[in-house]
Amino acid sequence: MPGSRPGSGPRPGPVERPGFVIPPGASSAPRSAVPGAETARPPGPGRAAVGPGQPGPAPGGAPVPYDGSASPAARTGQPGLADAAARAAAEEASAFAHPPVAPYATEAYGEHPDQVVDFYRPRGERPAPLVVLLHGGAWRDPYDRRHLSPLAAFLAGHGFAVASVEYRRGSAGGPADGPRAGRWPETLDDVSAAVDAAPALTVAALGEDLVDPRRVVLAGHSAGGQLALWAAARHLLPSDSRWHTASPPPLRGVVALAPIADLRSAIRLRVCSGAVVEFLGGPEHVRARLRHADPAQLLPTGIAVTIVQGTTDNEVPPQVAEAFAAASARAGEEVQLTMLEGTGHFPLIDPSTEAASVVAAEIAQLAW
């Protein structure tokens, strides 16, 4: 099928790669004192992103040790939980300590202020594969593409042209405990339009001598992972769906980083403080809208999928990725599941970690 890698037709079950897989040419020197870190973890009630007064990086890039004093686990006197909470807090602090990286260019794909794409020039002189990058943040407004810009620049430095997509997210004034997750149908409208427009926009912004629009990989972190998997599966949407396409998109594949890939599993686990139900428009809409939004119900796609997941992720637990891989297996399709031992949610988007080198390697596996 279009978008498939050679020989990537239906296969029985997920393939798991435990541990770090360092690509040829990638640095094997330790890049961070705390491995692992994903896209911005959307805050639960009373939780904010890293800011003034919160743990940041020490000189030289090593995360400042965090004592876990603000952690409920630490206050309960449970050392194991306290250690895990401290590690996760340090990982998040490291990921958010990087300043935003300005893009080479920004172009609009629609009229709304959030309908824009940032472009990062690839290192090198030959036409480069295109990575269309979708940020996470539980589809909530406080998190935009800027927090993913260090990863976008990191991937550009590894030889990829990068298109980092912004899209409409849930605005403030939702539930009493914080911003609402997602806008239905606007979030999916925007992702659909941006993914379709990205190849031509990137060539126009960076030049045809730097971009190979025939080699496109979708990548996304957390909620952005859900959006990437969904965008690759629109040809399987119900025919009456506003986002349905007649054929698969011309992709080399999808690399999803700690994705909210199985919405039913995420609802059961209350991932991101119940963000999935909000994203779908509330409890009254869940049943009807799941079939339009849940990647685990849009299978098999015929498109190569790799999931990179930390084993100690407490934002989007590994069970969510495993549920998607199991659903893919039932549909007769193989998913490449790369599990990173002792890695949480945020190292996957933190360019100071080995996890980010693994992400770049997995993208290269599909792009080339």
Q: Domain with 327 in it: what CATH number?
A: 3.40.50.1820
Would residue 32 count as lying in a domain?
no
Residue 44 — pLDDT band, cuts 50, 70, 90?
A: very low
The Cα 368–Cα 365 span in angstroms is 6
Would residue 304 count as lying in a domain?
yes
Would residue 244 count as lying in a domain?
yes
Question: In the chain, how long is the greatest CA-to-CA distance?
Answer: 59
- Supply the range of the domain harboring residue 180: 15-25+101-367
H and E: helices and strands count for the chain: 10, 11
Averaged pLDDT, 131-148: 97
Q: What is the pLDDT of residues 298-312, one digit of tens each?
A: 999 999 999 999 999
Would residue 240 count as lying in a domain?
yes
Q: What is the pLDDT of residues 151-209, one digit of tens each?
A: 999 999 999 999 999 999 997 555 545 678 999 999 999 999 999 999 999 999 999 99
pLDDT surpasses 90 at 87: yes
Would residue 55 count as lying in a domain?
no
Residue 177 has what pLDDT? 54
Residue 143 has what pLDDT? 94
Structural domain count of the chain: 1
18 beta partners: 339
Would residue 358 count as lying in a domain?
yes
Residue 222 has what pLDDT? 98
pLDDT surpasses 90 at 269: yes
Would residue 107 count as lying in a domain?
yes
Q: What is the pLDDT of residues 330-361, one digit of tens each?
A: 999 999 999 999 999 999 999 999 999 999 99
Residue among 307, 309, 306 nearest 342 (CA) = 309
The Cα 296–Cα 229 span in angstroms is 9
Would residue 54 count as lying in a domain?
no
Q: What's the predicted TM-score (pTM) here?
A: 0.80
Report the 3 state secondary structure along 218-237.
Answer: EEEECHHHHHHHHHCCHHHC
